[in-house]
Amino acid sequence: MIFRTNFEPIRFIIILVLGLLAPLSAYATNGYFSHGFGTKSKGLAGVAAALPQDAMAAATNPAGMVQVGKRWDLGLAFFNPNRGYTANDDAAGPPFASIPPGTFDSANDIFFIPHLGINWMLDENSAIGLTIGGNGGMNSEYQTATFTNFTPPGAPPQFVASQPTGIDLTQLFMGLTYARTLWERHSFGITPLVAVQRLKVQGLQPFKGASVTPDKVTNNGNDYSFGGGVRVGYLGELNDWLTLGASIQSKLYMSKFDDYKGLLAEGGDFDIPPVYNLGFAAKVYPKLTLAFEVQGILYEEVKSISNKNDFPVTPGSLGGDDGLGFGWEDMTIFKLGLQWNVKPDWTLRMGYSTANQVIPNSQALFNILAPATVTDHISFGLTKRFGKHNELNLAFTHAFNEKVSGTNPNTGAQTGFLEMDQNELEISWSRIF
C-alpha cells in the first residue's frame, strides 16, 4: 500500500518521477506556471509564501520547511483545461495568409498530475526536504492543419501543413531544501533546483522556409532539455498574529532543444523565467487566518517566450537570436486566501487570485499553440485529520473563461480570438511523524 507507515521514499521518488514525465502536460496556470504547489496552498488560490502548511511549501518559500515538521505529502490532481481559438472569415487574401475560419477546440482535456513532498527535521531549528512538482500550461492539439494557408505556392510536400497542430511543453522540478531558524521566529531556506523539460511540436511545416534551420522546426517528436537554478526564502513571525514571507527563484538555465532549434529563438533556448513571491498571513481571529501574496513571473527574461510575432514572417525569422516568439509579457498575480480551523480535525479554505494578461492582442498568431489566456482563479479546499498522523486534503480550482481578441500582420485584416477556462480537483494524503 502507498500509505503504510514504513514508507519507502526512494522507491516512491522513482515511481513519481517516471509518472510525472509521462502524463504531466498542464496545470491550473498563470501563464504556464502552476497557480500553486501543494493541496493546502491550492485551496487558498496558491497562497503559501507566509503560510507554509505541508512539505510542498519549499516550492514557494524554502524557509517554511522548518514550520511544517517531519512529514510527507503525496497528491494527485485531475486537471481539465478547455482551450481553443476562433478565426473569423474576414481575411484580406493575398499577399496575406490566413487561418481557416471556424472555432476549434484543443483535444486532450483531462490530465492526471502527481506531486510529492518529504520533510525531515534535523533538529528543532533546521530541516531538509525534497519536493517534486511541475509546470506545463503550453499544451494544445488541434485536429486540423491550422497553418495550411501559410504553405508557399508550389512548395514541396515537406512544407505542407500536417495535422494535428499543436505544442506540448512539460516541465518537471526536483528541489532539495535546507531551512534553518537563525534567530527567534525568523528562518531562511535555500533550494537548489534540477529541472527537466520535454517539448513536442506538430503541424508547423509552412514555417520551415522562414527558419535558419528548416529541418528543426516541427514534427521531430519529443525533445528534452536539462538544467537548474536556485530558490531562496525568508519567513518571519513578527508577533503572535502576523507572519511575513518572501522568496525569489533565479532563472533556471536549461540546455537547448536541439530538435526545435529552428523554431525557438536563440537556437532552441528555452530557459525558465525568474519568479518572486511576497506575502503575509494574519490571524484575524484565533481560528481564522487571512493571507495575501504577490507573485511575479518574469517571462520577458526569456527571448523564446517574450520575443514578438507581430512582424511579417520572412526567411530567417525563426530560430535566430531575435526570432519570433510568443510575445508574452511579465505577469503579476495577486492572491488572497482565507482559512478557517472549524474544529481540531477540520479546516476549510477559500481563495481568489487575479493577474494581468500575458498575451497582447497583437500576438495572437503563435499563441494559437499556447492560448494561456486565463487571469482569474477561485479556489476552495478542506483538510480532514485522522488522529495525530494522517490528513486527507482536497482542493478545487476554477479559472474563469478569458478571451484575447486580436490580429496579426501575417494574417492581414483577419480577426479572431483565443480562449481558455480551467477546472482542477486535487486530492492528497499527508503522513505526519
pLDDT digits (tens, 9 = 90+) for 179-223: 999 988 999 999 999 999 999 999 999 999 999 999 999 999 999
Report the Cα–Cα distance between both ends of the chain, in Å, rounded: 18
CA–CA separation, 340 vs 432, rounded Å?
Answer: 21
* Residue 397 in this model has a pLDDT that exceeds 60: yes
In the chain, DSSP finds a helix count (H) and a strand count (E) of 6, 19
H or E, element range at 428: strand 416-432
Contacts of 332 (CB under 8 A, 6+ apart): 294, 295, 296, 355, 356
> Which residue, among 48, 15, 43, has the nearest Cα to 28 in the 3D structure?
43
What does 123-164 look like in DSSP terms, one character per residue? ETTEEEEEEEEEE---EEEESS-TTGGGSPTT--GGGS--SS
Q: Is 47 exposed, middle or buried (0-12, 13-18, 19+ CB in 10 A)?
A: buried
pLDDT of residue 259: 97
Backbone angles phi, psi at 314, to 5 degrees: -130, 170
* Structural domains in the chain plus CATH codes: 9-432 (2.40.160.60)
Whole-angstrom distance, CA of residue 69 vs CA of residue 391: 14
**Distances in whole angstroms, Cα of residue 390 to Cα of each of 5, 43, 71, 259, 290:** 10, 18, 10, 46, 25
For residue 28, the model assigns a pLDDT of 60
H-helix or E-strand containing 10?
helix 9-21
If 0-12 CB within 10 Å is exposed, 13-18 middle and 19+ buried, where does residue 314 land?
exposed
57 with 40: CB under 8 angstroms? no
Q: What is the pTM of this model?
A: 0.92
Mean pLDDT score, 164-188: 94
pLDDT of res. 155: 82
Return the higher-pLDDT residue of 311 and 164. Answer: 164
CA gap 371, 403 in Å, rounded: 9
> What's the whole-number mean pLDDT along residues 70-93?
91
Beta-bridged to residue 40, according to DSSP, are none
- What's residue 118's pLDDT? 97
pLDDT score at 1: 31
Mean pLDDT of all residues belonging to the chain = 90
Q: Position of cell 527563484? A: 249
pLDDT in tens, 223-273: 999 999 999 999 999 999 999 999 999 999 999 999 999 999 999 999 999
The rounded radius of gyration (Å) of the Cα atoms in the chain is 22
For 285-309, the pLDDT digits (tens) are: 999 999 999 999 999 999 999 999 8
4 pLDDT more than 60: no
